[in-house]
Structure 1
Amino acid sequence: MPSQSSRTKLVASALAFTLLAGGVPAILPAQSAYAAAIGNTPFTDVSAGHWAEKHIAKLALQGIVNGYVTVNGTSEFRPAKSVTQEEAIVMALRFAGLQNEVQVGGTVTFPDSFKVSAYFKPYVKLALDKGILDEKEEFAIAAGNGGKGWGDIAASREWITKLLVRAIGENNKALQLANTKSAFNDDGQIASNYRGYVNASVSLGLVKGVTADKFDPKAPVNRMSLAALFSRAEALFPVQYEGQINGIVTKLSSSSVTVYNGGTEQTYTVGSDTLFYRADSDTAINASAIKLYTKISVITKLGKAVYLESLSDEQQIETITAKLDRVNAAGKYIYVWINDEPVKINFGDDLTILDVSGNTIKLADLKRDSSLTITLDKFRDQRLAVKLVADQQTGAGTVKGQFFNADNTIITYMDANKELVTKFLASKVDVTIPGINSATIDDLVKEADEIEITLNDNDRVTAVKVVNRNVETLNGATVESYSPDKKMMVIIDASGKNASIIYLNDKTKIDYNGKAISVADAAEYLTKGRKLNINASGQAAISVQFIYKQTGVITSINTSSSTLSINDGKSIISVPYVSGPTVELGGQSYGTLTDLKVGDTVTALLDSNQTRASTIQLHKTYQYTVTSINSQNKRVTVSTGVGSATRDLDLSGIDITDEKGTKLSVDKLSLGTNINVAYIGKAIQYVKAIEYTYGTIQSVNTTGFVVGFKNGTTKSISVGANFKVNKGTSSAANLSLLQAGDIVEVYLDAGDTVIVNVAVGEQRTFTSYSASDSTLWTLMTSSADNANFFRVTEETKVTYKGDNIAISTLKSGDAIIVYGFRNKAYEIKKV
């Protein structure tokens, strides 16, 4: 017989253990990349991605489980090893925090037929005293066991459900469900005295079948199943384990996490081996999936967070609006007006202050009577503001500065303090430059033009006016001669009829093949016949661009004359091209001229003689779905939406924004996020993260509609002028297609059109639900029906006659109507 010491180790190692025989592939966080390669547990026989890996790792870190030490010094868990009833009792007591109540060393007497090993007797006695075990029932089991003992009996799946339900104090629920038939096809094999406990365990989300329709009640429970069972039960029966803290996450970075608990904040380090999970999933997550100000559970060792579990997505914050009265930076508070009453708002060192465009601003920049949107925590005794969003501080008006650069979304200028300031462009921007008709942002000259910018109420640029020059633009001019000593050019205009003298100077900006070069370096290229675009004020050249490309919208393609005609916004330009030019299509293999069509925007790159286009780059935006993220190398893998095709994108140096123009880093993207990727040829220009909104329409107005969500909140959506509604076979830019009660998804497509898709309910026959991968299965309508499954999320509503019901209450054969998009269910109505 093993010694008490060895038995203690054996029992402790037995404490690890759903009655689920499968799992889903893990999505491993960046922080767990190394750990994932060898598994997230200390046990060599629990491989990375094992379905019970989370539960085994968690209980091991809580000190509830140990492993079996092998002869070579490693530790094994032996997940498939069966657990006896007496071993399971020890685990139940330790799980319930009753270990200290066990009276070791006393005399414990049981009937002769109730055989329990000596070490386990005090544990079993305490379980009987606490009502965790039913004495009458367990004694009867032992008496009918033919003298084989009670403690050595392999714990069955149905027996374990009763032990667990009684251990967490849910016996009454089991009694209420005792006469209810379970959802499993082998319900007849479940003993009548266990049926209520099986139903209660399933209802509480503690156990699942070995398959969607089989429970296998008599099968013995192994260590991995019992680990998952007790790990899940912690959500219903929380126990404070050493080194474990539950609280609100207030900060989370790649190196640390800060948790608010009991009136104080504690910060713990985070390492590459820190594990991240959700309470409602067995799949590892990325740290970025944990929202700030939500409830988490953290297991710590020596000041380091070794395990973080997200307990809820509900942020413990609320948002209010107010008018600013005054700021006291030293006292860390502001006074605001709410409903004509002065209210003091406190804040901490980590207060985030943004303008409505998402730009960070200083506390000192806030103006009295500014409208503020204030985010307050709901968990501190003295509530703190964690975020302020202020309206436009200058109001609609103008600002001045020196132009620095711009693209299709922003403009940057240098203000009077020699600081660079960036503003977002409105959808339409009027540009005024003396001497240039129909000027655009592209006509501005960097570090030369003094500009006056007009802003709207949303702090977006609506107009730009150059105030320091009268510029003449000479596009397509040809060099006749150039004198380096005098820095003087004689040029012929595009008509070939008029000659002009243009002088260069040290401030002249010269662009050669996309690179800035000096006037001295430009001399060797300013040879007779060179074609240039020149901006000049009088005879002084402000900028000179060697023509190496032409950008515009295709108006015609003449394959007979090998000529491409494009509209550059000012005129129609005829661009000859070489035989078989290179055609670059964003994110794809190289194309041909047949891939281009009238209306496409292109850039034609000219050959070294500036006479013909050798490469034609298509301007196009694609919408992708992010499937994996490598934050360290700034790369993402995306699904293209065409079959199973994926692409790997390098986003180093690429501007990434959300729909509001707020700049994002790669690590702020999430798996499943849709992104619009804009290409010129094969080069990515910018990336925009797209938000999908799913909800039920509450009301429709002239400019949009209001949607409601499962949690009771609502959101007002304005569709603007560029939108399309798809409802059944109808598709139009017409809000009259919408009505209250419609279930919709709303998003921006690749062309920034607001798309509103209305879900059309599918009549289906329910067959089963797999909780392991959150998939609902229905009867195939034909042999060709390959869309008879639906993904279920925490946002999915399941209803019957208008009331919410648990998905577990659906029975095979039930008639249901599924509302969703691309096999993702938003609402399931039982008919």
Structure 2
Amino acid sequence: MVLRHSKHVHSKKVVSAVMAGLIAFGGGASIVSADEEAANATAANAPQTAINVFSDVNAGFWGEKYIYQLAAQGIVTGSNGKFRPNDPVTQQEAVTMAIRFLSMQDQLSSGAATLPTNVKVNDYFTKYVELAFQQNLLDKQKESGYTDEKVIWGAQKASREWITEVLVRSIGRTAEADAAKNKATGFADNAKISPDRLGYVNVAVELGLAKGVNGNKFDPQGAVTRAQLATFLSRAQAYITTNYENQYKGSIASIENGKLELYANGKLNSFKLDNSTSYFTSDSEKRLQFSEINPYTQAVVVVNNGTAAYVEITDSTQQVERLDRTYARLSPDNVIWLDTGSTFEELSYDPSTVFLDQNGTKIDPKTLAAGSLLTIERETYSPQKKIVSIRVKSGLVNKTGAGIVQNVDTVNKRVTLKDSTGYEDTYTWDDATVIRYQNQILAPGELKNGYTVNFTVKNSVLQSLEVTQSVDRAVQAMLYSVEENGKTITYKRNGSTQLETKYLAEKPEIIMSGVAKPVLSDLLADAVSGDQVTLTINSEEKISKIEVTGRQIEQLDAATVVNYDSKTRWLTVKDANNQPLVIVLDDKTKLESSYGTTLDRVEPLLVSGRKVSVSLIGTRVLSLEVVYKVEGKISSINTSKRVISILTASGKVEEISYYNSPIVEIFGRSGVTLTDLRIGDEVIAQLSNNQDYLQSLKLKTSAQFEVVSTEPTRNRIRVKSNGTTSDIYTDKSILTGESGQAILIADLRPGALVNITFQGLTPVAVAEVKLTLGEVTSVDASANALTVKDYSGNSQTFGVSGGVKVVKNGSTASNLSTVASGDRVEIRKDIQGVTIVQVMEKVDRAFWQASNTEIQVKRKSINDNFRYVLSDKVFVHQGDTTLSVQSLKENDNIVLYLNNGVVVEIVKQ
């Protein structure tokens, strides 16, 4: 698309977007131009658009990208080969750059400019400042009060608070600023903000347009630099409608031999390239090399005198599609015929189309054999869909090459590899295939996506594959021993009889279900039945991660001590069926009691009649806990006898006496007593040290929350529910994902829903709630069922006989009658198991422009919203064809589907 100069009058909201781009960054934001020397120049010497290579802007300078972009667009200039990035900006420069940025120069007065009496500027800037007053960016009365006789108004350095007032006035928020003029801002230097600008600062901060600087200060008089100007102007371009006559947006058709061809606005444009051309990407400030620019990617190109001065890759995904077809024959005039089984398909190619054999070697198309299976690669950015390459895929393959692992199918013994051209091929392996990393033989299951490999294929079967990059790999094994020094572990691979020993990384990650912060001593190593583990071995051949996947452990809950021999450490107990059992404690037995966790503390408690919970392998005791709690459901509360009966999971009723009123804990409530508990409540009864009376009761509860933020280093999650925010500490909690897999706090994202289980006031489990987003394909209200196709293309049927709540257009229904096929929905279950169906808001608009995080559409009326936040996983498509946001063109008819105000799906009509 060719971006053309806009001659429309810009609204206040557009102007405000410009100013927001100049101030909304806390490091002393400001506006800067390169025209100090131009202040005394004539109009004939006005800045030109040719880009300069500035000697004082070194490669890698933080503002390099923005300086060169704006220089190419003619918004900023240099002098004598220098840009002077650290020079301050004056008010007249700030105004001039804003006018240029909006491309409003054509609205400058052709006659003599008129300014307020005290507003003095150099001749060059007079008409720019006059236009700024006409656009209400400046307050005539206030600026006319300027009285500094030492520095003229225009030469005054633009301050942060001055820009703030201009910003707030430009968006029509003056009344709000007046209402907030007596309100403190909360900044440490609040007293330094001019009283007449205090309200403007408040409004700008509340709207998120201005932020503080270091030390919670606003720095109202702080100046800004030319490099900051270039940065903020460049970033603000995503929020304005201004187009530049020398800027083109489209897809790179080719880039070679000193020339760039860009497909834009339905035609092919050709631009020269030279050593002054600068290359960047939209999501990085790091300059690219020419070799890093690939064809078929999307780009913005700024052109000066036929040469591409600035090239920015906006989407590095190559716009190509691959089709598998059966070759039939060639015809004159570069036509290839393909056999579809029932008919023939005709495609045209041109002399630049590359023909390749199975090994990626160029061939003459005349050597193609009928019946060969071909992979046809063609670009998708133009209506012509030019064929880029045709590659032979069928037949016996014999090749040696390098690639990247894309997929490993251990069931069908197939591995998919992608070569340097992006071409993917799948090969089978057999029992003779050798897979190697360094000097070790790997199992196929140890290969991971992303591995870089060298491989040899003979007769289409993988003969050998060698992992060449330094990689992490996974090994399934049984723990045999863990050295006491904590430096090595010995294990036996699954399916092997050989022992292997490896060093541990400095701080290996240990994952163990049910253990909040496991350490090496929590691992169970045994020659016969040690922990089943998945070991991650890093590039240094050290074990960096140990995940316990299974244990062969027997559990005895509330066993009764019969006898303990401290010399032999033999413990005789009776199980729940009164069957005797002799078990043995050793130095590795994990002990727990209210008196301590060492053997000398626990042994005196092992007297006849004492209750203990034991985990063991065979007769070896892994852990022993002197029971000081009972879990189950309250079956009765006898306040006259002061006895509470609890039905345990094993079906046994435990009667527990209490003397004084025990402590009762219920999450979210204070001042609770026994009267707040009911028969059937699940509780944990905390016993005294001697197990003879009740100390406290903790009620088991669960609730659903929305994650606000996470602090992994503090094991803390901030959540909210019904408008109330709470801090939840997870150091004693088990965290699981949507599918029940173990996760870390860092895996939770703001906005996610979680079910949290509490024991009294202590959270013990945090489970992420499964959300299904997609399109309703059928509804059967009578059968209480609906079918949804999610954004991965999978269909799921949801039965809602357990209860349903449908939220649509602000109303709530208790059945599916309001849900229709074609609706987009989010489906989840609340804490009671009721299915919640949230029908998404639907917005039908014409596309305008987009960034990676936001999409802007054209309004149908003045009151319509035109800016929407994009989900990081937004699904963009036209029918069954998946698209990218960047592929959308101005005025495309699109439908947005919003979930809680965020766009999760875009349908191109």
Relative contact order, higher structure (CA 8 A, sep 6+): 1
Q: TM-score range by the shorter chain?
A: 0.3 to 0.5
